């Protein structure tokens, strides 16, 4: 198989509800869509879901645009390959830039599964026909606003809620949510905003008393030692997100006992090929995994649903319905959840039609290679 032509589109969509984390705030997103064509006319789409600024990780929308255009796509175009794993080897010399690689990797998998007529989840080794979705709720102006969001999403049937926390926005709100939702599957995500200062350690150890399913990424991404020390002090499992960009990071985290749960993001880890390898490694070490999200539009979301069908994804994933994020999604049908359950598509490729008309309306800039 050979990619003979590639296009990249910068596409903007407004979020239905503004999202704030410890590091940034957003009301709309700009993602890069990758469109790959082979010589026989087959097409595969992928999505680079990088945040616009370098606050979640080092990448930005603009850095992804540059690296995809000047390095990743040129490494792929005109080369022969028989399987997506072989295609990914073509750009393996490029360091970092995992979000940019992920969009191209998803497009390659979509192209290959479209051309061969196989559903993406099946090609990846997925065994589930349905995946369970949770919701991720951002920092709100007040605890009452947050409670309102929890009521809305649990009423929609989502069985798991994750709350963004930051120093000063932690114990009180978890206490309030627990008081109203006593047995809800609840977890918190700090996006690396805590240090090992006395105040911060005291807040984190207090959170150990609320029956949380996990505490996600309390400390800075490279500070695996702090995670290992905290995991020794508390019973609540620590889950890593930002710390694990590569398989080597995961090997180190396992060696250090820095986590008991892993959030696998296709976007953060450079695509479906490395995400699947992380799933396999975690399973060998009895570490349960779930699929995290970056507010992907429909294309990235479809890839997240497909990887969530693998057997090790035993915890609810951040693959909420399109409607939780966007007024109208760029795939048809959009992703729907029935009481928090998403059906894995059985059609070939991503299993959704790409709404190119809508994409054209939302596109700010395009480039062709």
Looking at the Cβ atoms of 6 and 187, the one nearer to ligand OSB is 187
- The CA-to-CA distance between both ends of the chain, in Å, stands at 17
CA distance 49 to 30: 8
* 189 contacts Mg ion (rule: CB under 5 A): yes
Residue 294 interacts, among Mg ion, ligand OSB, none and using kind-specific CB cut-offs from 5 to 8 Å, with: ligand OSB
Looking at the Cβ atoms of 74 and 167, the one nearer to ligand OSB is 167
Binding piece for ligand OSB, criterion CB under 6 A, among 29-37, 76-84, 176-184, 290-298 = 290-298
Sign of CA dihedral 346, 349, 353, 355: positive
Binding piece for ligand OSB, criterion CB under 6 A, among 88-96, 153-161, 287-295, 332-340 = 287-295
CA distance 242 to 245: 7
Closest approach of Cβ 271 to ligand OSB, in Å?
Answer: 17
CA distance 130 to 271: 21
Residue among 93, 101, 162, 164 flagged as catalytic: 164
Binding piece for Mg ion, criterion CB under 5 A, among 71-79, 90-98, 175-183, 241-249 = 241-249
* 136 contacts ligand OSB (rule: CB under 6 A): yes
Residue 249 interacts, among Mg ion, ligand OSB, none and using kind-specific CB cut-offs from 5 to 8 Å, with: none
Of 268, 249, 271, the closest CA to residue 259 belongs to: 249
Q: What character string, x for contact with ligand OSB (CB under 6 A) and - otherwise, covers 215-254?
A: --------------------------x-------------
* 192 contacts ligand OSB (rule: CB under 6 A): no
Of 107, 42, 39, the closest CA to residue 68 belongs to: 107
Helix (H) / strand (E) containing 16: strand 3-20
* 241 contacts Mg ion (rule: CB under 5 A): yes
* 292 contacts ligand OSB (rule: CB under 6 A): yes
Q: Is 164 a catalytic residue?
A: yes
Q: What is the 3-state secondary structure (H, E, C) of 177-216?
A: HHHHCCCCEEEEECCCCCCCCHHHHHHHHHHHHHCCCCEE
Residue among 79, 93, 162, 265 flagged as catalytic: 265
Closest approach of Cβ 109 to ligand OSB, in Å?
Answer: 20
Helix 298-307, helix 272-284: angle, nearest 10: 30
Binding piece for ligand OSB, criterion CB under 6 A, among 32-40, 144-152, 194-202, 291-299 = 291-299
Residue 158 interacts, among Mg ion, ligand OSB, none and using kind-specific CB cut-offs from 5 to 8 Å, with: none
Mention every residue, 6+ apart, whose C-beta is less than 8 A from residue 327.
Answer: 14, 16
* 296 contacts Mg ion (rule: CB under 5 A): no
Q: Is 26 a catalytic residue?
A: no
233 within 8 A of 199, measured Cβ to Cβ = no
Would you call 350 helix, strand, or coil by DSSP?
coil
Of 163, 215, 145, the closest CA to residue 22 belongs to: 163
Active centre residues (catalytic)? 164, 265
- Contact residues: ligand OSB, CB under 6 A: 21, 56, 136, 189, 191, 241, 292-295, 318, 320
- Contact residues: Mg ion, CB under 5 A: 189, 216, 241
């Amino acid at each position: 198989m050979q990619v003979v032509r590639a296009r990249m589109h910068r596409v903007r969509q407004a979020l239905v509800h503004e999202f704030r984390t410890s590091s940034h705030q957003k009301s709309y997103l700009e993602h890069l869509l990758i469109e790959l064509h082979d010589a026989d006319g087959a097409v595969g789409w992928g999505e680079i879901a990088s945040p616009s600024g370098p606050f979640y990780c080092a990448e930005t929308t603009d850095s992804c645009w540059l690296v995809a255009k000047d390095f990743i796509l040129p490494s792929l175009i005109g080369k022969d390959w028989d399987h997506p794993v072989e295609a990914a080897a073509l750009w393996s010399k490029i360091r970092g830039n995992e979000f940019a690689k992920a969009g191209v990797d998803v497009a390659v998998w979509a192209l290959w599964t479209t051309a061969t007529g196989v559903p993406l989840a099946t090609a990846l080794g997925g065994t589930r026909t349905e995946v369970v979705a949770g919701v991720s709720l951002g920092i709100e102006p007040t605890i009452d606003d947050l409670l309102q969001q929890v009521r809305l999403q649990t009423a929609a049937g989502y069985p798991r809620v994750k709350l963004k926390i930051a120093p000063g926005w932690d114990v009180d709100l978890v206490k309030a949510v627990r008081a109203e939702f006593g047995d809800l599957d609840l977890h918190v995500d700090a996006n690396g905003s805590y240090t090992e200062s006395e105040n911060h350690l005291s807040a984190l150890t207090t959170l150990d008393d609320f029956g949380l399913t996990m505490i996600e990424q309390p400390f800075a991404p490279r500070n695996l030692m702090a995670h290992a020390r905290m995991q020794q002090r508390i019973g609540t499992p620590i889950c890593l997100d930002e710390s694990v960009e590569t398989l080597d990071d995961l090997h180190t985290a396992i060696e250090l006992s820095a986590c008991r749960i892993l959030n696998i993001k296709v976007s953060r880890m450079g695509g479906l090929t490395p995400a699947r390898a992380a799933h396999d490694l975690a399973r060998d070490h009895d570490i349960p995994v779930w699929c995290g999200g970056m507010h992907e539009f429909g294309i990235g979301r479809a890839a997240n649903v497909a990887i969530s069908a693998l057997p090790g994804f035993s915890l609810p994933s951040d693959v909420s319905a399109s409607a939780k994020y966007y007024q109208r999604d760029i795939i048809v049908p959009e992703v729907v959840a029935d009481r928090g359950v998403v059906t894995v598509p059985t059609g070939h490729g991503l299993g959704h039609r790409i709404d190119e008309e809508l994409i054209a309306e939302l596109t700010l800039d395009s480039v062709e290679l």
